[in-house]
Structure 1
Amino acid sequence: MISQIADDRNLIVICTFSKIYGMAGARIGYILSNPEIIGYLGITATGFCCNRVGLLGAAAAMKQILKEYQEKA
């Protein structure tokens, strides 16, 4: 996925933790894209904060995603 983003400057990948990690109520996700697009999204995004439990769950899920990615590489 990351290599595809490097090849296509207009690609935006939106991911969520809702189903895979059982965090549907937390409404937590992330976006992968080139830095320019991410910068624009940061300007237009409305800020809200989720609860601490949701953030801790997302951090644990991201660690797992990174581990799986490194094992494949």
Structure 2
Amino acid sequence: ESLILSETESEVESETESLVLSLVLSDRESLILSETESLVESDVESETESLVLSLVLSDRESLVLSETESLVES
């Protein structure tokens, strides 16, 4: 009887250990996923910002050019 009990205990222990391990791994996985998502989001944000900035600058540049041209013409 005590042999059966100790075997059962050891089974329960190993089950528990594997459960804990899988929880830890799943937590780590979701952490990595959320880190990756936020990195991707920040990349996309900065790409968008730089695109907008370059559009604004190019607009300003063409405005300055056309102003300069009209000044030169007159």
TM-score by length of 1: 0.32
More strand by share: 1
- Asked which structure has the greater RCO (Cα within 8 Å, sep 6+), the reply is 1
More helix by share: 2
